[in-house]
Amino acid sequence: ANCLQQKHKIMTCGNGGSAEQAQHFSSEMINRFEKERQALAAIALTTDSSTLTSIANDYTFDKIFSRQIQALGQEGDILLALSTSGNSPNVLKAIEAAHLQNMQIILLSGRDGGKAAQSADIEIRVPSQSTARIQEVHLLIIHSLCDIIDQMFTQNQ
């Protein structure tokens, strides 16, 4: 919420179901969650098929998020990375790129947190081995974050 109040943005990424949840969070920021409030800056790095496929084709799939962060990320922005294993190579490279841009990294992870847990500024881990259970709790966390942000942006209305 502080990042958004300072006119910075939140960039999100993940694979498979985590990609869907990254997009879900971004859409709740740009549109609204439960309360009427201003549109907030968020970008899901999982949605531009031309960008994703050109990066994967010209470089490697591992760079689909990091190249976007290099182009769009700025100091003060946040990367919200979702990975049930914490070991997805493209998410790990996204975290590296975000650090180089002086962005803060928030990781939603599962299992033992994987390699990503060592690089995140804030990790929220669901200590389960079940991908389905991890993703269910990640959705609850995303909705909780959206609710907190809604509260902060509607206090003075």
Confidence of residue 156 (pLDDT cuts 50, 70, 90): low
On whether residue 48 sits in a domain, the answer given is: yes
Report how many domains make up the chain.
Answer: 1
Residues 68, 96 contacting (CB under 8 angstroms): no
- Which domain, by its residues, includes 49? 1-152
On whether residue 24 sits in a domain, the answer given is: yes
pLDDT for 126-152, tens place per residue?
999 999 999 999 999 999 999 999 999
Q: What is the pLDDT of residue 72?
A: 98
Distances in Å between the Cα of 74 and the Cα atoms of 80, 99, 112, 119, 126 are: 14, 10, 29, 18, 29
Residues paired with 57 in a beta bridge: none
**What CATH number does the domain containing 54 carry?**
3.40.50.10490
On whether residue 157 sits in a domain, the answer given is: no
pLDDT for 74-130, tens place per residue?
999 999 999 999 999 999 999 999 999 999 999 999 999 999 999 999 999 999 999
Residues paired with 10 in a beta bridge: 42, 78
pLDDT value at 157 more than 90 = no
Q: What is the pLDDT of residue 30?
A: 97
Closest CA relative to residue 142, chosen from 73, 42, 5: 42
On whether residue 122 sits in a domain, the answer given is: yes
Residues 126, 110 contacting (CB under 8 angstroms): yes
On whether residue 31 sits in a domain, the answer given is: yes
pLDDT value at 37 more than 90 = yes
On whether residue 17 sits in a domain, the answer given is: yes
pLDDT value at 8 more than 80 = yes
pLDDT value at 155 more than 90 = no
Q: What is the pLDDT of residue 7?
A: 96
